[in-house]
Every structure is written in C-alpha cells, then in structure tokens.
Structure 1
C-alpha cells in the first residue's frame, strides 16, 4: 500500500522551526508499505524555518499576523495530487499541525490550547476519501 506521511515524521527538517519529529515506528511500517513523504507547507511555497502558524476559523495566520491561507491551500492541493497519483488510501500526518492535524489542532492563540478541528491538508484529504491518522495511531497499523 502507498501511504502519504508527513515528511517531518520521516526525519526531514521541514517543520516551522527547521526541525523534524522523526517517528521510529515508521521504520517498521516501511518494511510492508511504500511511504511517500509530503510537506504541504513547503509545497505551498513557505520557507523553512518559518514563523509558526495556526488556524483561525477558515484562515491560517502566522504568529506575527501574516495571512498564509493561500500557501496552505496550495500545499494541500499539491498533496492531494500526489495522493491521487499514487492511489493512496491512507495518510499519516503530524498531529495538531495547521496543515496536517486531524481531529485536534491548535486554536490560533499560540498558547498551546488544542481544539477540535482539522488542518487544511488533512481536511482536503478526508473530503476526497482518504483516511487520515496522526502519528500516535501508527501502532494500530503494525
């Protein structure tokens, strides 16, 4: 099976802070499946490192107040193209991210407060029939 995976979970330094969140469990998953690294924020044209961003209603705003909604939407669309090209039915995405978070994301106040919601890319994937899970659920796939 081809599975989309947030590139930061695979050790790619593409997060807003220029770091990764390597997830060791993906090594075991890689033995059985093709893992396709994606980073919607980079695909949308944002640099690394970059100002942190959070969703505020239907917008994505950086901590310094810049509206980066357009870049997040563009990146989500690019990820969807890859999902369709590789016939991916599953995506493992970085939890709480304004692009990749599924079910729970930060609330837009930059205080670490978590609310119910989906990141821009996660929402687009779900709308197109792709199952999305976060890195804390990888164990269920092993």
Structure 2
C-alpha cells in the first residue's frame, strides 16, 4: 500500500483523538465523523502533541496552572507539552497545513476555553499549548 496525499486546496492538521485514535489521557478517543472523513479523503493529518512529547497513554489528566502544565498527581509535564507541540508543528510546516481542527478544552489543543487548573471541571479563557503555537503562526484553528 502506498501513502500519498491527494492534491487538495486546504490541508488540515487535526487532533488524533478526533480522528478516532485512542490517544486521549484516558486511553479513549473523541471520534468526530467530520474529522474522520477528512482524514479518509486525504485532506487531514492527525497528530497527538501529548504523545509526541513522550507522555504515555493512558496518563493522568493535565491542566494548565499559572503557565505550567501539571498532571492530576501534581507532576510538572510542561516540557513534554512544549516538545510535543513543537514536533506536531514540524508536521504542520512540512505539509503546509493551513487550518487545524482541535479537541476543545484540551491543555494541548483547546481553543479559547481550557480547564482552570483546579481539576474541578471549571473552564477559563485560554488556549492549549499546541493551539497557542498554531495561532501565533497564523494557522486558522477551530474546535470540533
């Protein structure tokens, strides 16, 4: 089987969990048929910045606290999140992706709203690490 991307007008980077990959912190997916269809059509490439950063699946849930990413056990995993975002961004650059569809509320992929760092389910204004990197580079991002 050969792998090649079809010629498309817009290529998306998408959160792997939305493409049906079991890469969420709890080992599950957040499959979204629209995203799965984009991948099947060769119009999207799935990534999981948290796995790219070396974090296992499953893993303790993580939230952003005062600019650092902490897991539910109190361990600082900021370096993993930054490294994973940088690696995922390399794919964005290599592929020339112009848009991204990312998992809402995620400390990596959340756009505009993320959990507040108290692990209580409260949301605050903010972006995940990867989402912020994409926005800064001018990539159009949206939640599922």
**Normalised by the size of structure 2, how large is the TM-score?**
0.90
The alpha carbon displacement at 1:25 in A equals 2.0
Aligned to 1:139: none
Counterparts of 1:101-140 in structure 2 under 5 Å? 101-135=110-144
Which of 34, 38, 41 does residue 47 from structure 2 map onto? 38
SS at match of 1:77: helix
Identify unmatched segments of 5+ residues in structure 2.
1-9
Identify unmatched segments of 5+ residues in structure 1.
136-142
CA contact (8 A) 2:14 2:35 kept: no
CA contact (8 A) 1:3 1:33 kept: no
SS at match of 1:76: helix
Does 2:25 correspond to 1:16? yes
Paired residues in the alignment total 135
Q: Could you list the runs of 4 or more consecutive aligned residues of structure 1 that deviate by over 3 angstroms after TM superposition?
A: 27-33
Does 2:110 correspond to 1:98? no
Counterparts of 1:64-83 in structure 2 under 5 Å? 64-83=73-92
Cα RMSD for the two superposed structures: 1.2
